[in-house]
Amino acid sequence: MKKERFEGKIAIVTGGGTGIGAAIAKQLADEGATVVVMGRRLEKLEETAASTEGTVVPMVGDVACEDDIKRVIKDTMDKFGRIDLLANAAGIGAIGAHMENLPLEQSRKIFEVNFWGTYIFCHETLPIMQKQGYGSIVNIASIDGMMGYDGEADYAASKAAVISISKCLATENGANGVRINAIAPGWIDTPMLDRAITSYAAAGIQVTKETLRNGSMKRPGKPEEIAAGACYLLSDDASYVNGHTLVIDGAKTLS
């Protein structure tokens, strides 16, 4: 384990049991941070903790539940007394269809997790960081929120909202010593991608990981490649980067 950029920092990572969230949590812990990982399944959070020699503290909760968010923040403050870093990585996708065919219940759930959970976490964490005079937040969005793909009205809109709120919060908090940035990944090889492929198959659309080749790279991305970008933005190496949306998509948006 190398202890460098995040020595002594306290971080919260949502969606920390799988995929991008787990990769971010592992790298933060490997580089010295104490990382609270939030997710719905304790066994997955414990797997993240076991993947690093660093300090990872599992806290079970659902980002779609406001009370769970407030409890995790309170428990983190009670235990460690500060929150330096926040990575909002929890997210869900759904079956692709034109808007008129999307179940409203599905769309509401997507916004609750992808946008509202991020919004509430920022809402509750920013006063803490403002008081400290220091903090860095990274919100995981998607290139879907920038491009407008067929059949993804609810998912794309939820991620566009994440990009927008990140920019707004950056303009509001830069003078407070708090930076807020976003990341827009392309197709990333995670359990969420596996579920998306299954959902497309149920809708009669045959998609495989081989057909989801991101731009010039001709492969899906790896969670660790998103984590590297997230940890850069969270770190003091990016001390003058604020309000930015970092696209990590293997040039998919150029194809």
Please say if 240 is a catalytic residue: no
The answer to whether the beta carbons of residues 121 and 91 sit under 8 Å apart is no
Q: DSSP letters along 130-173, please?
A: HHHT-EEEEEE--THHHH--TTBHHHHHHHHHHHHHHHHHHHHH
The answer to whether the beta carbons of residues 69 and 40 sit under 8 Å apart is no
- 141 Cβ contact list (under 8 Å, min separation 6): 159, 160, 162, 163, 166, 182, 183, 184, 245
3 state DSSP class of 7: coil
Q: Which two three-digit tokens encode residue 196?
A: 């998306």
Consecutive H or E run containing 119: helix 117-132
Single out the residue of 40, 47, 42 nearest to residue 25, CA to CA. Answer: 47
- 42 Cβ contact list (under 8 Å, min separation 6): 58, 60
User: Which one of the listed residues 119, 134, 149, 155 is annotated catalytic?
Assistant: 155
Entry field: residues in the chain? 255
β-pairing verdict for 10-14 and 34-39: parallel
Q: Which residues are catalytic?
A: 155
